[in-house]
A = this chain, B = another copy of it.
């Protein structure tokens, strides 16, 4: 309904009020009082790029935790923006070791980590990084975690966090919620290579703090913002904790059911995400054929393995509005039939 409403002008007072309210809702979901909190006008990867292009000064040492596709992507994006990338790897399917991340460089400008690795189903610990970061900025990818598991930007001393809309927020893809601490604001690049993602300019449109008019930067994607506003409203009406519990319950139901089917999960219990379950493809089973049949016969899409896990695992998302017991049971029943178990 929000998507199908009338299209407001991006400087219409009614839209600006909607944007303000959206940013307030984002603060609640991020667990932050950061003044600079906004939806970036692109998908989650635009949020990642905005997070690096605005904070990496040429030659800055940037420690990046890598245990999946999105950690790899962080290295690529950071290096394109001039960072001296210090990689800290963990096996794909294992969590990163916070001590290794903190010990990787004596004085990093940024420590960057993916909270919920969508390519492996692993949850990386953020809290110890906030406690131990010292003078570094802590940059966290919350694309798949926000709304699905506990997130506490201020509580964990995260300086820069971005997300996407289409994961546990349950909103179509197209925007990247982003939040920036006061501490990070002081270290912003003055004139980043990207004009489109320049937070100095975006802040003058997003925030009405100078007591004057909003300064036009680019035309905000008003329809997607309306969808984000409505989706965040639904999430907050349910309650953040209730949503986390719903994801936890559905994830448990799914993971127990997969084990009952004799399948092997990739990630150990203590760092396993409820919203994204990775399961090893049994020997002799045709990866693509199973996914195709699930989609064409049952109308259920599961993800292929990504990166170096392609062909080895399936990734089963149970996020946002799809995280319901009936959906889990339908998938388990369908998979049982397709695998003939």
Q: In the complex the two chains form, is B77's CB within 8 Å of A173's CB?
A: no
A41-B43, A73-B195, A219-B43 given; A4·B4 CB < 8 A: yes
How far, in Å, is A311 (CB) from chain B's closest CB?
A: 12
Residues of B within 8 A of A217 (CB): 45
Expressed in whole angstroms, the Cα–Cα distance for A217 and B42 within the complex equals 13
Interface string of A161-172 (1 = CB under 8 A from B): 000101000001
Report how far A41 CA is from B164 CA in the complex, Å. 13
Q: Which of A93-125 contact B (CB under 8 A)?
A: none
Q: Is A194's CB under 8 angstroms from B49's CB?
A: yes
Q: Knowing A7-B166, A46-B42, A46-B196 touch, does A219 contact B173 (C-beta < 8 A)?
A: yes
Contact with B along A188-223 (1 / 0, CB 8 A): 000111111000000000000000000011111111
Decide: A49 and B173 in contact? CB cutoff 8 A.
no
Residues in A44-70 with C-beta less than 8 Å from chain B:
44-46, 48-49, 53
**What are the residues of chain B within 8 A of A76 when measuring CB–CB?**
195
Query: Is A253 an interface residue when CB atoms closer than 8 A count as contact?
Result: no
Cα A172 to Cα B9 in complex, Å, equals 10
Q: A57 to chain B: closest CB distance in Å?
A: 14
Asked whether any CB of chain B lies closer than 8 Å to the CB of A289, the reply is: no
A10 interfacial contact with B, CB 8 Å:
yes
The answer to whether B41 and A223 have CB atoms under 8 Å apart is: no
Q: Does A1 have its Cβ within 8 Å of any Cβ on chain B?
A: yes
Q: How far, in Å, is A332 (CB) from chain B's closest CB? A: 20
A249 CB-CB contact with B under 8 Å? no
CA–CA, A12 and B166, complex, Å? 15
Given contacts A41-B174, A49-B194, A80-B191, 9 further A-B contacts (CB under 8 A): A7-B172, A42-B42, A43-B218, A46-B218, A80-B192, A173-B220, A174-B221, A174-B223, A224-B224
27 contacts between A and B (CB under 8 A): A1-B4, A3-B4, A9-B301, A42-B46, A43-B218, A43-B220, A43-B221, A45-B195, A45-B217, A45-B218, A46-B196, A48-B196, A53-B194, A80-B195, A81-B193, A172-B221, A172-B222, A172-B223, A173-B220, A173-B223, A174-B223, A193-B193, A193-B194, A216-B306, A221-B224, A223-B227, A224-B224
